[in-house]
């Protein structure tokens, strides 16, 4: 199998492969608390492993897909009470992402997918890809696991997609992450109810979960220490490797599909 990890190639090998590359994946995670049962690297780990597996799936389809080194710091200010969490300001984070994209574009990698596995990065990444398009005319795509598998998550009736809960813990299990299931907790299970009980601004129409797609107003992030003792939002005790495998299979297939679609187009 040809090498799919950008950082393992020499610059000469990179120069040779750039023209035949259907897409380059840019994994983005965070370094932040994931309850008592998962490591700080969880989002970065999921982004990296998912990207690599999708690149290998794309190879099986005859495509060359590369994976860039993972950006393992993100926008995590609302987790910062928990020891070990490291956060970038949204402004700096946007600029880091733009610099990564500019560098790749300068060397001819013009079809990119940002593979984001941390919800707190989503708003800043949306700004970044739009700014990059305005600046360069190049349309970078943003892929996020809770969106790419949202129909499967609903079908499986997982108890929510917020933070370190059933779905994320299941996905981490399926990817071989270190998960201490004996320390998994159920905390702030109903985020909206918890917010209201703590006396913070609340509305029945606010969106508290990545799967809730009704009419809504958006609240800001909650400072996690104010609503959850363990750092989990949801029920991590319901997680299983089997559930995670179903989510993961969907994610690998669909991210490979995205690469295949990009590979059919001429560079912008």
Strands 21-28, 64-67: pairing is parallel
Nearer to Zn ion, 45 or 109 (CB): 45
- What is the nearest approach in angstroms of Zn ion to the Cβ of residue 32? 7
- What is the nearest approach in angstroms of Zn ion to the Cβ of residue 38? 8
Nearer to Zn ion, 43 or 57 (CB): 43
E strands present in the chain: 21-28, 64-67, 112-116, 141-144, 186-187, 234-235
- What is the nearest approach in angstroms of Zn ion to the Cβ of residue 34? 6
Nearer to Zn ion, 147 or 260 (CB): 147
Tokens coding 68: 């860039």
Residue 116 per-residue DSSP state:
E
Residue nearest to Zn ion (CB): 43
- What is the nearest approach in angstroms of Zn ion to the Cβ of residue 46? 7
Nearer to Zn ion, 22 or 187 (CB): 187
Concatenated DSSP letters of 60-108: HTT-EEEEPPPB--B--GGGTTSTT-BB--HHHHHHHHHHHHHHHHHTT
Tokens coding 212: 């809730």
**Dist CA 73 CA 126 (whole Å):** 17
Q: Does 43 bind Zn ion (CB under 5 A)?
A: yes
Residue with tokens 């079809």: 111
Question: End-to-end CA distance of the chain, in Å?
Answer: 28
- What is the nearest approach in angstroms of Zn ion to the Cβ of residue 42? 5
Nearer to Zn ion, 66 or 161 (CB): 161
Which residues, other chains included, contact 98 with Cβ-Cβ below 8 Å and sequence gap of 6+? 128, 131, 132, 135
Q: Of 105-134, which residues contact Zn ion (CB under 5 A)?
A: none
**Which residue stretch of 35-43, 103-111, 125-133, 221-229 sits at the interface with Zn ion (rule: CB under 5 A)?**
35-43
- What is the nearest approach in angstroms of Zn ion to the Cβ of residue 102? 27
**Which residue stretch of 17-25, 40-48, 138-146, 198-206 sits at the interface with Zn ion (rule: CB under 5 A)?**
40-48
**Which residue stretch of 2-10, 38-46, 177-185, 208-216 sits at the interface with Zn ion (rule: CB under 5 A)?**
38-46
**Count of residues interacting with Zn ion (CB under 5 A):** 1
Q: Is 135 helix (H, G, I), strand (E, B) or coil?
A: helix
How many Cα atoms are found within 13 Å in the side-chain-facing hemisphere of 29?
24
Nearer to Zn ion, 24 or 28 (CB): 28
Which residue ranges make up the site for Zn ion (CB under 5 A)? 43
């Amino acid at each position: 199998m040809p090498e799919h990890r950008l950082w393992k190639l020499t610059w000469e090998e990179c120069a040779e492969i750039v023209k035949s590359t259907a897409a380059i994946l840019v994994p983005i995670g965070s370094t932040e608390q994931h309850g008592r049962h998962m490591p700080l690297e969880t989002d970065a780990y999921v982004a990296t492993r998912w990207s690599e597996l999708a690149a290998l799936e794309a190879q099986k389809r005859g495509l060359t897909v590369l994976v860039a080194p993972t950006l393992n710091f993100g926008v995590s200010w609302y987790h910062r009470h928990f020891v070990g969490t490291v956060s970038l300001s949204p402004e700096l984070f946007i600029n880091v992402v733009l610099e990564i994209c500019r560098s790749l574009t300068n060397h001819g990698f013009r079809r990119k997918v940002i593979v984001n596995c941390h919800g707190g990065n989503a708003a800043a990444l949306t700004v970044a890809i739009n700014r990059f398009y305005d600046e360069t005319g190049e349309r970078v795509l943003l892929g996020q696991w809770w969106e790419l598998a949202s129909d499967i998550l609903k079908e499986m009736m997982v108890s929510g997609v917020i933070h370190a809960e059933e779905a994320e813990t299941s996905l981490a299990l399926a990817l071989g992450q270190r998960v201490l299931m004996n320390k998994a907790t159920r905390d702030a299970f109903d985020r909206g109810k918890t917010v209201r009980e703590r006396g913070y601004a609340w509305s029945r129409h606010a969106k508290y979960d990545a799967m809730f797609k009704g009419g809504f107003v958006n609240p800001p992030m909650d400072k996690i220490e104010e609503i959850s003792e363990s750092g989990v939002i949801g029920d991590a005790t319901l997680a299983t490797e089997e559930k995670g495998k179903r989510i993961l299979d969907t994610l690998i297939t669909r991210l490979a599909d995205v690469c295949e679609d990009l590979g059919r187009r001429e560079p912008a």
